[in-house]
């Protein structure tokens, strides 16, 4: 059964602020409000990009961590998260205790050889599943591949997202958003 939808909300005061840009990605249908469906379609896309089945332990983990993250973000349990709710909620502590695990599980889904790093194609598939354009993903990959070994490591990926969301310098954030 689909969740109820709200009327579109006006864009945040500064649509270029990091939290606003991340929120816009969470709102996958672009109606101005991030719904539970919006959030979980990202997991579905990452699963499809990886070719993993519903019973794969990594898919099960990604969904469980997604449930945990959504429950934390949708504190009132109405199935919707406004930008105001998101901006008030997300911070370094929430990233460290909730978001990094959900995002790390999505990273793991597309890390097909499970070596803790993504090649350019895997990274692009992940970022597109999360709502970024392929050309932005290329620029972000280049920013994160500091040793130029053709791979983005999980810890560097998560650290770059954390930095961006918390307002610290993030070359990946600047490239993606």
Q: Is 159 exposed, middle or buried (CB count within 10 Å of its CB: 0-12, 13-18, 19+)?
A: middle
Give residue 8's pLDDT. 45
Report if residue 10 sits inside a domain: no
Q: What is the pLDDT of residue 171?
A: 73
Does residue 6 form part of some domain?
no
**What is the domain-level CATH number for residue 70?**
1.10.238.10
* DSSP reduced 3-state for 81: strand
Q: What is the pLDDT of residues 19-76, one digit of tens each?
A: 888 888 888 888 989 999 999 999 999 999 999 999 999 999 999 999 999 999 998 8
pTM for the whole structure: 0.86
Region of poorest pLDDT, from 5-9, 30-34, 101-105: 5-9
In a domain, 136, yes or no: yes
Contacts of 20 (CB under 8 A, 6+ apart): 11, 12, 14, 83, 87
Number of domains in the chain: 1
pLDDT interval class at 15 (50, 70, 90): low
- Find the domain containing 42 and state its range: 18-176
């Amino acid at each position: 059964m689909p969740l109820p939808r709200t009327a579109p909300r006006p864009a945040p005061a500064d649509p270029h602020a990091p939290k606003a840009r991340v929120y816009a990605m969470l709102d996958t249908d672009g109606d101005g409000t991030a719904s539970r469906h919006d959030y979980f379609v990202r997991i579905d896309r990452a699963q499809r990009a990886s070719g993993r089945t519903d019973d794969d332990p990594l898919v099960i983990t990604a969904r469980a961590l997604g449930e945990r993250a959504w429950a934390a973000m949708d504190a009132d349990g109405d199935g919707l998260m406004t930008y105001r709710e998101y901006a008030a909620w997300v911070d370094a502590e929430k990233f460290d205790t909730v978001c990094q695990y959900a995002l790390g599980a999505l990273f793991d889904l597309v890390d097909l050889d499970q070596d803790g790093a993504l090649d350019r194609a895997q990274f692009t598939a992940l970022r597109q599943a999360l709502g970024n354009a392929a050309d932005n993903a290329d620029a972000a990959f280049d920013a994160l591949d500091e040793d130029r070994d053709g791979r983005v490591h999980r810890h560097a990926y998560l650290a770059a997202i954390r930095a961006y969301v918390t307002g610290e310098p993030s070359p990946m954030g600047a490239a993606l958003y």
